[in-house]
Amino acid sequence: MIDERLQNNQEVETDITFEVSLKQHICAEAARRFQKMHEDFIQKNDPYRCLSKNKEKFLADFKDVFHNVDQCQKKAEEFTDRCLKPAVEKFVNRSLGPDIIGEMLTSEQFSTRMSFQYSVLLDLTSKDDFKKYKSFICSYESYVKKWILNKIVECFSNGSTKFEEQHLQSCIHSINNAIQKAKTEKSGNVKSFVEVVCQELGDKLVISQGALGAFMILNKADQEQFAHWLFKSVKDMAHALREKFKKTNLLTKLQNLHVNPQNELFNKLIGCGKQCPFCASPCEAGGTGQHEHFTHFIDQKCDATNWESHPYKRYKEIFPDWRIPPDASLQASDYWKYVLVKYNKQLAVAFHAKPADIPAAWKEITKVQAEASLKESFHIK
């Protein structure tokens, strides 16, 4: 993976010493993280800690067995709360990320790479805020990911839980079928009954073996009665999860997802992620492998490359991976000309330079013309 990332960043000059140092640093960091994971696992699965954690439950179970108390309802609720409910929540969280991504891709803004880049730049114009332009230029990836996140929040701001409901219903259907299957097999005891249920759900739900093991201890519930109460507990669980999904804030949901929607959308729609060495406009070529970077825009230029004066028309001598078509007319890139005119002084201050000497014709470009130029550049109808 390290070699692949280095291969995809050819502009970074490296040698064998650099590669060895980089790999040592990454491996050392990975080793520390694996060590922490190992220690956390040992602590979580320490027999004494597990026994102490479940001491009250074991005592209650022992009393029930000693006094011949019917455990059916109690054990059904316990199995549902400790084993099934966490597994269902994990399944929903695992499925919700791709659902959000798919929903966003149905909108015009996210339909193609060109539409996406057009939408980001058009939104910058509508915001009329230099700080956002500066963030776009200096922290492109961070800015765009935040923009995507805002669009996700905007899209799902109505509080709809249709995706959660779909997956919840699917889980409940599978659980009920598994219970019915276990009933028909006449397992003989609750332990065998639960094992059949878990086996039937194995392809869909990941049930904690630790929670399952604790549930099995001192379990003397009647199988038929257990199945009866389990159906009811599952129904109650579905209701509780529906309410939880409705009350949970969208940003909280996004934090719990297995797939990060804004990162996935960024990787899918942003091209290779490189920015023009002159104007910071994003490369419009797709993919992450080696390819020739290109962009339609080039306006804001500096007078030095590699700290030496260099003619712009010979930019390929310094940036061989880039293809930047020349501006054949004064109308070719009105968008960035408009931006440069509007924020000339702020750009100069931000990048420690003198204000640009702007042609008079550029100053006549209106916001409407700039937006029209942007639409034409990205072939938006």
> What's the pLDDT tens digit per position in 92-143?
999 999 999 999 999 999 998 889 989 999 999 998 899 999 999 888 889 9
Calculate ∠ Cα 239-241-245, nearest 5°. Answer: 120
The pLDDT value recorded for residue 378 is 83
Q: Is residue 206 a contact partner of residue 239, using CB atoms and an 8 Å limit?
A: no
What are the structure tokens assigned to 214, written together? 């604790």
Examine residue 189 and state whether it is found in any structural domain, yes or no: yes
Please state, in angstroms and rounded to a whole number, the distance separating the CA atoms of residues 56 and 62. 10
Q: Is the pLDDT of residue 241 over 90?
A: yes
In sequence order, the 6+-apart residues with CB closer than 8 A to the CB of 71 are 61, 64, 65, 219, 220, 221
The model's pTM: 0.72
Does residue 374 belong to any structural domain of this protein? no
Angle at 77 between CA 76 and CA 83, to 5 degrees: 85
**Any domain includes 57:** no
Range of the domain at 156: 70-269
CB 307 within 8 A of CB 313: no
Residue 297, pLDDT score: 44
Q: How many domains does the chain have?
A: 1
Asked if pLDDT for residue 314 goes beyond 80, the answer is no
pLDDT of residue 342: 94
Examine residue 343 and state whether it is found in any structural domain, yes or no. Answer: no
Report pLDDT for 193: 87
Residues 26, 28: Cα–Cα separation, whole Å: 5
Kindly state whether residue 132 falls inside one of the protein's structural domains: yes
- Taking residues 287-292, what's their average pLDDT? 46
Mean pLDDT over residues 199-207, rounded? 90
Residue located via tokens 């962009």? 295
Give 3-state DSSP helix, strand, coil % of the chain, rounded to 5: 65, 0, 30
Q: Is residue 127 part of a domain?
A: yes
Higher pLDDT, 74 or 274: 74
Residue 18 within any structural domain of the chain:
no
CA–CA separation, 20 vs 16, rounded Å? 6
Q: Which two tokens stand for residue 242?
A: 């529906």
The answer to the question of residue 277 being in a domain is no
Q: Is residue 312 a contact partner of residue 326, using CB atoms and an 8 Å limit?
A: no
Q: Are 190 and 221 in contact (CB under 8 A)?
A: yes
Share of residues in the chain with pLDDT > 70 (%): 72
